[in-house]
Structure 1
Amino acid sequence: MAAKDQQSSILSKKRKQISDTHIEGGRPSPKKSKFALSKPGQRPSKGAKKTFKLSKPDKSSHVLEKKPPLSTRERRLHAKELAEVRKKKRKRHYTLEQELASLWEKMRRRNISKEERSMLITEALQKMKGKITEIVSSHVSSRVLQTCVKYCSQSEKDAVYEELRPHLLTLACNTYAVHLLSKMLDNASKKQLEVFISSLHGHVASLLRHMVGSVVIEHAYQLGNASQKQRLLLELYSTELQLFKDLVSTKESRVMDLISKLGLQKASVIRHMTSLVQPILEKGIVDHSIIHRLLVEYFSIADKSSATEVIQQLSGPLLVRMIHTRDGVKVGILCVKYGSAKERKKIIKGLKDHIGKIAKDQYGAMVLICILSVVDDTKLITKIIVRELQTMLKELSLDKNGRRLLLQLLRPNCPRYFSPDDLASLNLFIPSLCTKGEKPDLEKQAKSIEVGESGESGAANVSEVTVADPIDNINDDVDEESLQSMDGGKKDPSVRRLQLLVDSGLAERLILTCIENAGELIRSNFGKEVIYEVAIGGDGGVLWLTLADRLNALHEAIASLAALPKTDESEEEHVLENFHSSRTIRKLIMDCSTFATNFWTIALEGKCEMWAQGHSCKVVCAFLESSDSKVRELAKPELQPLIDGGLLKVPDTKLAES
């Protein structure tokens, strides 16, 4: 019974504790809690468990002082200090670079004396001695070195070159060091240039595929002589030539000559060149003349599929960057001639907004001339090329290269205005893409190393030239007719010319330009040729068909200039006494009877005695030399007394005919 009473008393105590917990809001009362902390200074009861009191921190002993916020300037200076610390840890020669930058600011000034600059350069080179290869890759230090190399003495240049010589190939691929290399090559002696080009052996192909390294190769190619240029090119033709540089002499410059002499496998050479050309085109590294020469040689041996693929890759804006060199324009002409209609459209659209600049370029103008002579889509040419040309007709007429574009439409392929090289470039062809009638005899090439005569539709009728001449297929002995022949589209050349010149409105705008600027054009060395061709109506009199009234107005404008009185006060020389204008008017009188009649009536009738001496004498005598009997009879009554009186001297050729 005692055990039961004890158990019941324990249960009652637990119930009471539970009830107290509910009353206190779910937590046991502190007094009833088994783990209550004793009061401060009170000892725990005997037998009770030890308890611990968490004391609060004393605020007075740990006072946190708030710092005032930094200003914008202080934050900037603090950030700059941290950046300086990081740069010193990261860059080994940071302090040296700062010193060199300070010296550079002084030595590059324009108002500094040579002696002071020389002292600063010597000090800078002394600081850099032994460390040039390490700091040349820095943006700042490379510029300091460029200035030093530009102004230092030859002995100092040689010292810098010798220190860099073991590391030239590595530096050639560095973005900043490449500028120093270019500057050193510009100032290098012949021996140093030879050493540098020799060090490139075996690495030309890999460097050409590098965006930065290709700049160094191109610079060396431009500075080298013919032999050095050939050595750089030979590595790009074949693996054997890349490994053994002494296989050929300087005479074999064309890849076809090398294949023939060394007995190389043509298929192997094509594979090697294709593996080199494709990455270069994919990366867009097409600005260098050495690559242009490589593409010209590649077209001379490439099979049909390889040549077509390269033309497809180049068709578009990429071609605009190539047509500024002699070989680049050949590549451009071949792409225009052998590209499909879709590719030609891409090429023409890629030239948009660059027509004026290209037309004035010595080589680029030939690509535009080829487009005007080959492409059948005259609406597209009118929209993109002719429209832009119409806004600058005066400027083009007075320009040495720009005038050729207008003269090609007025008198196509005229040897008077185009050099043999220009006409030869228009007649280039790719052997693998030639049509059936113009394709050379490959068996004959393999046996006798000669190209057979091309067919009537071929680019040129050429015989007995070397295999390397498919691209440069015009030799010095080619007759004039073959020079004037050119590949064209399906459209008749005369119809294409009429649409581009007359139907587009270019001819009318050109005549108005000649009327407005007749005095300036006829006195100009280049403008006189344009105004002459316009005044006679172009080749075949194409302008007389629809623009006769405009041409008569031009004749009257020229005659009105000649009718002006001769005065010493005028700043400009009279058109009858000027060297260029007098000869142009003489040609017009002899070649165009309509002009001769108008000119006599307006300018010379009754005034021949005044103009019977000097350059104007040639103009007066032209009436007697004209092939038109009406012109001769018109002037004879007034000129015969001058001849009899000895005032007018007739040319000896005319006297002999009489």
Structure 2
Amino acid sequence: MAAGIKRRAEGKAPSDHKGSKKQKTTFNKPAIKKNAIHEDSTGSGGEHDLEDFSPEETSPTSDDASSDRPPRSKSATKGAKEESSVAGGDKKFKVENTSAESHAKQRALAKERKASKPNADLIARSKKIWEKLRRKSHVPLEERKKLVEELYVIINGRVRDFVFKHDSVRVIQCALKYANKEQRLNITKELQADMRALAESRYGKFMVAKIVMEGDQEIKNLVIPEFYGHIRRLINHPEAAWIVDDIYRQVATSEQKAKMLREWYGAEFALDNKIRDDRLKKDEKPTAELSAILEASPEKRKPIMQNLYQLINQLVQKKMTGFTMLHDAMHQYYINTPAGSEEATEFLENLKSDLDDPSGGGDLIKNLAFTKNGSKVVCLALANGSAKDRKQILRVYRDTMELMALDAYAYQVLLTALEVTDDTRTSGKSVFSELSFESVTNEEERDERLISILTHRTGRLLLLYYLAGDAKWLVPPEAAPLLQEIHTIRETTSKKSPDIRRTELAAYLSKPLLEIVTRRADVLCTSIPGCQAVTEILLGTTAEAKDKQQACAAVAAICAGDPTSEEHITHLPAGGKMLRALCAGGKFDAKTKQVVKPEQPLGFSPALYSVIKDKLVDWATGPSSFVVVAMVEGDELGKDKGDVLKALKKGRKSIEKAAEGKEARPNAGAKILLEKL
């Protein structure tokens, strides 16, 4: 009815007096009949609310009459309402169906439709059980066991009917969570043939993830082979790609990973996976090493490289660059392309394809840095690239330096950038200014973040490598081969001497590192990594004598107090080793069996003696007696050396007692001191 009324209003004829002076028109209030109002109010059939009802629409007159009649004034309309109220016996407008009633009908209809579907009652009951089970802390153990038993009775044999619906798939996930080994295996077997379809489903992919994460190796071995032969298609699928890569990264064994990655090399390898039940194939251990495959079949090089590059390029163009499988494939491709070849050049250009993207760019290079083989790809690209390429790549990491320094793989990218870039001023400023937090104005926050880098297993490598060199305690074993490869490439791509590069980068680091030792020596010297960092900073930095003296004084100050106390630095093995090295004034060379001293004396022994001279005998007989030995053997004490020997002679009996071990284990340092006396 309302629709018809609107059409009448739109169809009014234009006024004949258009453009003429508007005349005031008066009219009498129309006598609105009771039955007319009743007819309109009920004729809508319950499709419209009272808000859609207009007094102008109550007139039973024709379209022509309504078009000739001028619009009512507000007072006339009000009067019409009053008369209508009187004529109707003070009855209010009444619509048969309100909006709430209409929605209730719709809900009831939807409920009827659900009830008519297969297994509707079972799904409804299982969802109620799930509602209880998901609130684990609110359900007693015995009640939970009964609910789980009931749930398995419901889903047994009907798992496929549940998993492809967004609201019931969570029931199966809940069942997997509380299942025993046999129940999980039964659920997996029911779904085994549907694994690919589930992986491609918007909601089903989470079911696949739940199965492989909750299941044992037997279940994983049932699931993963279902993807064999379809990896190339699935890795391009918007839903399946993520779950397939997660399985590859977190769940698959090395053999399963090899089979999955081999499919990137072409249809032949996908077909090879499909016939995995062939007896002749069972004894073979597949390899994903492209070099071995090309060596065995050199005639297949061209199609394999084309297939591999094509799939890599597809994912890069789609911005799907976070996959570990993609990074492994890129690594296999790059290490099998000759340096400087057309293939290598094209690959590097593809690697940098989004660096100039207005929306930000660099996602591929950022993602590569945080995986094992991805970081190797970037390291090799930096080593083989031009100076411009290195600058562009390093710029991408400007906002992620701290995160990369603390990552197990990404730190290698920053270290490689420092090792192969000849412009040490640019590379040092780009990396070290971020890792020393020069832009942080809060001194306390800056110090805490720098200490976290200096005491981190991988983070400290970037700051101490140019002070300590290739020390075994500093360079992780897994990083050494990559560094060696980078150094080999650097011989043909770099013009600067490695020694000059190291000296220049160490000079850039000296000031911020000495400042942190001066301010926070008490914090650094409480841990093994901190003590190692302090040793390398004081012995390896090149700075003004004044700055080093302040740092030495700060370290010596923490040695004050009673050396017999368990909390004293002398009882920390790393602390005693640090103090001994600093008193020696240089680093010990294992090859020559001598201490290599810097050109500028450190001067730590005089600073330490001024703090501990009243407790010197306690130091000589304690766990850090070798610190006193280093002071005596060194040449930094000068005139104070005589005072040291004099004080030790006064405590000779205590030193002899410690050397003989009458009260405890013999003190080797005390024995050496007796010889010196």
The answer to whether TM tops 0.5 is yes
Q: Does 1:220 align with 2:228?
A: no
User: Which residue matches 1:157?
Assistant: 184
Aligned to 2:350: 313
**3-state SS of the aligned residue for 1:332?**
helix
Per the alignment, residue 36 of structure 1 pairs with none
Aligned-partner SS, 1:458: helix
- One-letter amino acid matched to 2:391: K
How is 1:538-549 mapped onto 2 (pairs within 5 angstroms)? Answer: 538=541, 543-544=542-543, 547-549=544-546
> CA, structure 1 residues 396+60, in 2 after alignment: closer, same or farther (shift >3 Å)?
closer
Q: Decide which of 527, 532, 553 is 1:529's aligned counterpart.
A: 532
- Asked whether the equivalents of residues 237 and 272 of structure 1 are also in contact (C-alpha less than 8 Å), the reply is yes
Structure of greater Rg:
1
In the other structure, the counterpart of 1:198 is: 225
| Structure 2 residue 464 is matched with structure 1 residue 414 | no
Aligned counterparts of 1:266 and 1:305: Cα–Cα separation in 2: 15
Conservation of the 8 A alpha-carbon contact between 1:322 and 1:329: yes
Determine helix, strand or coil for the equivalent of 1:362. coil
Following the alignment from structure 2 to structure 1, what is the Cα–Cα distance between the partners of residues 264 and 330?
Answer: 11
The answer as to 2:39 corresponding to 1:63 is: yes
* Aligned residue in 2 for 1:272: 307
Mapped to 1, the partners of 2:453 and 2:422 lie a distance apart of 24
For residue 13 of structure 1, what is the aligned residue in structure 2?
none
> Which residue is equivalent to 2:262?
234
Q: Which sits farther off after the overlay, 125-134 or 149-158?
A: 125-134
- 1:179 alignment counterpart: 206
Alpha-carbon deviation of 1:618?
A: 2.5
Spell out, residue by residue over 1:418-460, the C-alpha distance to the aligned partner (whole angstroms, 9 max, x if none): 023212122446xxxxxxxxxxxxxxxxxxxxxxxxxxx733x
Give me the whole-angstrom Cα distance separating, in 2, the residues matched to 1:589 and 1:408.
Answer: 22
1:249 aligns with 2:284: yes
Alignment partner of 1:557 out of 548, 554, 557: 554
Aligned CA distance change for structure 1 residues 192 and 567 (closer, same or farther; 3 Å): closer
**C-alpha distance in 2 between matches for 1:598 and 1:512:** 20
Give the Cα separation in 2 of the matches to 1:282 and 1:347. Answer: 19
Q: Which residue of 2 aligns with 1:515?
A: 518
- Alpha-carbon distance in 2 for matches of 1:84, 1:525: 70
Write the distance in 2 (CA, Å) between the matches of 1:579 and 1:587: 12
> Which region of structure 1 is more displaced relative to structure 2, 491-500 or 186-195?
491-500
1:204-244, CA deviations, whole angstroms, 9 ceiling, x for partnerless residues? Answer: 22222224323333343332333222222332334433322
> Which residue number corresponds to residue 452 of structure 2?
395
**1:254 to partner: Cα distance:** 2.1
* Cα distance change on mapping 1:419 and 1:657 into 2, 3 Å: farther
Counterpart of 2:56?
Answer: none
- The 3-state SS of whatever aligns with 1:608 is helix
Residue pair 2:556, 2:607 contacting (<8 A) in 1 also:
yes
Query: Counterparts of 2:574 and 2:188 in 1: how far apart (Å)?
Result: 54
Q: Give the whole-Å Cα distance in 2 for the aligned partners of 1:428 and 1:580.
A: 33
Instruction: Give the letter for the 2:342 counterpart.
Output: S
User: Which amino acid in 1 is paired with 2:421?
Assistant: V
* 1:63 positional shift: 2.6
1:477 matched residue in structure 2:
none
Is the partner of 1:287 in helix, strand or coil? coil
Shift of 1:417: 0.8
What secondary structure, in the 3-state scheme, does the structure 2 residue paired with 1:361 have? coil
Aligned equivalents of 1:418, 1:214: Cα separation in 2: 36
* Aligned ranges 1:532-611 → 2 under 5 Å: 532-538=535-541, 543-544=542-543, 547-566=544-563, 573-592=567-586, 594-611=602-619
Cα displacement (A) at 1:298: 1.2
Asked whether the 8 Å contact 2:455–2:530 carries over to 1, the reply is: yes
Q: Name the residue aligned to 1:293.
A: 328
Post-superposition shift, 1:521?
A: 0.7
1:103 aligns with 2:129: yes
Residues 312 and 346 of structure 1: CA distance in aligned 2, closer, same or farther (over 3 Å): same
Q: For 1:610-634, what per-residue CA distance to the aligned partner results, in whole angstroms no more than 9, with x for missing partners?
A: 1123322122222345487969966
Superposed CA offset, 1:289-336 (max 9, x none): 333222221112135333333333334232222323322221221232
Structure 2 residue matching 1:244: 3-state secondary structure: helix
Hey, what does 2:589 align to over in structure 1?
A: none
Q: CA RMSD in A?
A: 3.8
Matched-pair contact (CA < 8 Å) for 1:333–1:426: no
Code of the residue aligned with 2:549 in structure 1: it is N
Q: How many residues align?
A: 539
The equivalent residue for 2:88 is none
Residue 271 of structure 1: how far off its partner (Å): 1.5
Residue type of the alignment partner of 2:525? I
Equivalences for residues 447-458 of structure 1 within 5 A? 458=488
Offset at 1:637? Answer: 4.8
TM-aligned CA distance change 1:154 to 1:335, over 3 Å: same
Deviation at residue 360 of structure 1 after TM alignment? 1.0
Residue 365 of structure 1: CA displacement?
A: 1.5
Change (3 A) 1:605 1:653: closer
Contiguous gaps of at least 5 residues in structure 2: 1-32, 53-96, 274-280, 353-361, 438-448, 587-600, 660-666
Could you tell me which amino acid in structure 1 is paired with residue 568 of structure 2?
H
Task: Return the alpha-carbon distance in structure 1 between the equivalents of residues 492 and 51 of structure 2.
Answer: 76
Instruction: Supply the distance in 1 between the matched residues of 2:536 and 2:164 (Cα, whole angstroms).
Output: 58
Counterpart for residue 46 of structure 1: none
- 169, 175, 180: which is aligned to 1:148? 175
Match of 1:421, SS?
Answer: coil
Q: What fraction of aligned residue pairs are identical, expressed as a percent?
A: 23
Using the TM superposition, give the Cα deviation of residue 358 of structure 1 relative to its aligned residue in structure 2, in angstroms. 1.5
| Cα distance per residue 1:123-148 (max 9 Å; x no partner) | 34444444433442333322222221
Change (3 A) 1:563 1:219: same
AA in 2 matched with 1:385: V
Structure number with the higher helix fraction is 2
Greater RCO structure (CA 8 Å; 6+ sep) = 1
Letter of the 1:530 partner, please give it: A
CA offsets per residue over residues 67-102 of structure 1, 9 Å max, x none?
Answer: 794699974674475367468759956956555443
- Aligned partner letter, 2:524: L
Q: Against the structure 1 CA distance between its residues 76 and 318, is the aligned structure 2 distance closer, same or farther, given a 3 Å change threshold?
A: farther
> Could you tell me the TM-score, scaled by structure 2's length?
0.70
